[in-house]
Structure 1
Amino acid sequence: MGEPRSGIARYTRQLVTALAGLPGDEELVLFTDAPLEAIPASPRITQRCLGGPHRLVWSLWSLPRALAREPVDCYHSLTGFELPRSRRLRLVTTVHDLIPLTFPALTPWRHRVAFRLLIGGALRRADRIIAVSEATRRETLDRFRISPAKVVVVPQAVGEQFRPLEAPALRQALRERYALPGEYLLFVGLLEPKKNLPILLEAFALLRRGGQAPAGIELVIAGAGGWDTEGLPRRVQRLGLDGAVRFLGPVPEADLPGLYSLALGFVFPSLWEGFGLPALEAIASGAPVVASARGALPELIGDAGLLVEPEAGPLADALAVLVGDPGLRERLRARGLERARRFSWRRTAEETLAVYRAVAA
């Protein structure tokens, strides 16, 4: 398992932790290009941190050499495209999305080049392909000549800490820590083009100009800076949103459930998501959701949110409905909590382990 960045790194940590907690005698060897933090101490887990000047060198040189020295039966790539050539190993890969192929402008060029170079061969070599959603499975089968029997859906999940924050003292402490306004809409995610943040800002400006938003409502944006987002502060100024939009930067995972719980609503206008982990975190934490009707988000959210085209007008209209109807917010909250119960890392780990055992048999 190679550790990539951002949301996939969280997937790596959560999956490995859950796998280590399952009954069985399988041993896990983690091959990473940097130390993987927050992995539980376990006699069943060994980390191999392999250096390298560049991730592509790590994938094509360091990793295959290390695997040749290890008595590994099955290798699982969590990035989808870093799958070594091997006649000895059984190979599994997880496909999160095909955005570098389908929406190349939404991907940094280095990642786009590496993905395009490696993904086709990786999918052909894999004995089994795990897709994180039915949308990703369909996209993979449409794009590549692969047997449908080879591709299985194993969804991601969220940790048990993602639940509504009810304690008044903790809610107040969180408000003070981040100087949160009385009412706010929330976005959480890596700040990158596919998240469609310029359109979110335009939708929020339309909401405020339409006079349908509560007085003093703000838009809170939480997440690390990714790439090509330097113009967001200028857009805030141009739209007349100074003082109404707050960028929190990276937020510790321990604080995210509270941020979701306190929000009037969570808005996720992505142009495409192979899964959409923040949306699942939001509904598990009790936040009503307005989200894009593209990618995997409709199958993830279902009737637990308002799904619209990721354009300024439809988003603004949906946000106006959400903020103006307390009864709707409560109904969406209840549906979201019920829907989130379908997802657990234990279930994800059990289904992933079943794939390992099937290909290694």
Structure 2
Amino acid sequence: MRPIIINGRFLLHRTTGVERYAREIIAELDKAIPAGSITMAVPPEIENVPVYQNIKVIKTGKFKNRLWEHISFPWYVHKQKGISLNLCNVAPLPSPGIVCIHDVKIKATPQYFSKKFRLWYEILFGNATKRAKKIITVSEFSKSEIVKYFKVDPDNITVIPNAWQHYERIGYDESALSTYGLEKNNYYFSMCSLEPNKNFKWIAEEARKNADMTFAVAGSINRNVFSEGLGFELPPNMKLLGFVSDEEAKTLMRDCSAFLFPTFYEGFGIPPLEAISAGAKQVVVSDTQVMHEIFGDGVIYVDPSNYNIELSDFPEISETRISELLKKYSWKKSAETLLKLLQNIDQGLDK
């Protein structure tokens, strides 16, 4: 059996969508494999090395961060005669192995990104889609986009979706509302990285029309990556909260009037699923192909280009529909799909 070696560079980053995917699937994968059958390699600067029951974690290499990912990590994989498993979009250029590409927004919405960032990811994705043994993605929509932009054989792409059960381990922070100056059931909430494709202008326009309500947005923006920052002025009743803890986020989701996710482009979209599991009264998402695929009739849909939506007109979603939606997704089921993929590759059933 060729060793499977997980790329652990994601541990350097604050946990957002792609890092959450890696952490949760690896944790479930660890429960389903024989001891020592999978290794995670991590850069030497990692301080909080995770402990697993069956996955062996090793520090290796002299380089750090990106150089580690493209030099030290693939060299270690080569020495072990292994296959790299890369769950956070980026795979080493010399040997991409198995790579999860969560979305291809750099191709679909290039106007939102700096030229340098776009070029780098086009190189990474171009290399991975041509040379990887297998590609993973998180939705049928994202799969179709990878096929469209990179001409990949659909049979070489496996859909392994996100899930929400990590929120079951998270408690509520009952001081969160006072921390951010919010009043229960008297604010709208949104949370994700403040990328232009997330369409926060829609939230700003709604805030301007609803001056008696507060619109709170959690997340941060990387101005070195996104070409024009937010691209609009904030109305006085719209608050940018910055990074919030998991406990604060769960509480803000539970106590808001509605959770808003008017994004233009996603590969999946974890925050609405988290909000539903946290007990949000209403979850509002964009009327787009991927949102319908993921959320079905368990959410409320709005036109992300229409800035004249009446927020008070949202219908109620039944508990039955919400329950059915949550049952669709499980980190355990996703890990089982990944394990089957790894076994098939080892047995020569996949190229």
2:38 to 28, 33, 47: 28
One-letter amino acid of the structure 2 residue matched with residue 15 of structure 1:
I
Q: Distance in 1 between matches of 2:46 and 2:278?
A: 30
Percent identical residues: 24
Indicate conservation of the 8 Å contact 2:135/2:156, yes or no.
Answer: yes
Aligned letter for 1:226?
A: N
| Counterpart for residue 196 of structure 2 | 193
Is 2:139–2:159's contact at 8 Å kept on the other side of the alignment?
yes
Higher mean alpha-carbon deviation, 191-200 vs 39-48, is at 39-48
Aligned equivalent of 2:180: 178
Residue of 282, 304, 317 corresponding to 1:310: 304
- Aligned residue among 67, 82, 85 for 1:76: 85
Cα separation, partners in 2 of 1:225 and 1:2, compared to 1, 3 Å: same
Structure 2 residue aligned with 1:213: none
* C-alpha distance in 1 between matches for 2:333 and 2:133: 21
Change (3 A) 1:2 1:25: closer
Show structure 1 runs of 5+ residues with no match. Answer: 210-215, 323-327
How far, CA to CA, are the matches of 2:61 and 2:292 in structure 1? Answer: 39
Q: Is 1:202 the equivalent of 2:205?
A: yes
**Which residue of the partner structure matches residue 15 of structure 1?**
25
Kept after mapping to 1: 8 A contact 2:262/2:285: yes
Aligned to 2:3: none
Q: Which residue identity lines up with residue 152 of structure 1 in the other structure?
A: T
Q: What TM-score do you get using the length of structure 2 for normalisation? A: 0.84
Cα distance in 2 for partners of 1:105, 1:46 equals 39
Deviations 1:53-93 (A, max 9, x none): 662x3443232222222353x3212233424445xxx9211
Structure 1: which amino acid aligns with 2:213? I
SS in 2 for 1:311: coil
- Aligned twin of 2:222: 226
1:44 aligns with 2:23: no
Structure 1 residue 267: Cα displacement? 0.5
The aligned residue for residue 256 of structure 1 is: 249
Q: In 2 relative to 1, CA 251–230 (structure 1 residues): closer, same or farther, beyond 3 Å? A: farther
Amino acid of the structure 2 residue aligned with 1:343: Y
The 10-residue stretch of structure 1 (139-148 or 183-192) with the greater mean CA deviation from structure 2: 139-148
Distance 1:85 1:340, change over 3 A: same
What does residue 153 of structure 1 align with? Answer: 159
Deviation at 1:158, TM superposition (A): 1.7
Could you tell me how far apart the structure 2 residues matched to 1:176 and 1:229 are? 34
Match of 1:66 in 2: 76
Provide the residue aligned with 1:212 in structure 2: none
2:261 counterpart residue number: 268
Match of 2:233 among 198, 219, 235: 235
CA distance in 2: counterparts of 1:246 and 1:307, whole angstroms: 23
TM-score (norm 1): 0.81
Distance change >3 Å, CA 172–CA 146, structure 1 → 2? closer
Q: Output the amino acid matched with 1:78.
A: L
Unaligned segments of structure 2, at least 5 residues: 1-6
Q: Distance in 1 between matches of 2:47 and 2:19?
A: 9
Partner SS, residue 119 of structure 1: helix
Secondary structure of the equivalent of 2:182? Answer: coil
Q: Is the alpha carbon distance of 1:144 and 1:250 closer, same or farther for their aligned partners in structure 2, counting shifts above 3 Å?
A: same
Structure-2 separation of matches of 1:37 and 1:225: 25
User: Is the contact between residue 50 and residue 57 of structure 2 (CA under 8 Å) also seen in structure 1?
Assistant: no
Please list the CA deviations of residues 127-168 of structure 1 after superposition, one character each: whole Å capped at 9, or x if unmatched: 221110010011112223322221111101123435998xxx
Distance in 1 of aligned mates of 2:271 and 2:47: 21
Instruction: Report the AA paired with residue 39 of structure 1.
Output: P
Aligned counterpart, 2:331: 345
- Report SS of the residue matched to 2:307: helix
Letter in 2 for 1:265: A
- In 2 relative to 1, CA 111–66 (structure 1 residues): closer, same or farther, beyond 3 Å? farther
* Residues paired across the two proteins, number: 332
Match of 1:123 in 2: 129
Q: CA 1:113 to 1:19, structure 2 compared with 1: closer, same or farther past 3 Å?
A: same
Q: 1:135–1:296: 8 Å Cα contact kept in structure 2?
A: yes
What displacement does 1:268 show? 0.6
In the alignment, the residues of structure 2 paired with residue 310 and residue 155 of structure 1 have an alpha-carbon distance, to the nearest angstrom, of: 24
Provide closer, same or farther for how the CA distance between residues 343 and 38 of structure 1 changes in structure 2, counting only shifts above 3 A: farther
Please state whether the residue corresponding to 2:339 is helix, strand or coil. Answer: helix
Q: Distance in 1 between matches of 2:62 and 2:252?
A: 37
Does the aligned pair in 2 maintain the 1:163–1:284 contact within 8 Å?
no
- Find the counterpart in structure 2 of residue 354 from structure 1: 340
Is this contact kept in 2: 1:81–1:123, CA < 8 A? no
Kept in 1, the 8 Å contact 2:63–2:72? The answer is yes
Aligned pairs (5 A) from 1:72-151: 72=82, 74-86=83-95, 91-151=97-157
| Counterpart code for 1:127 | K
Range with greater deviation from structure 2 (333-342 or 218-227) = 333-342
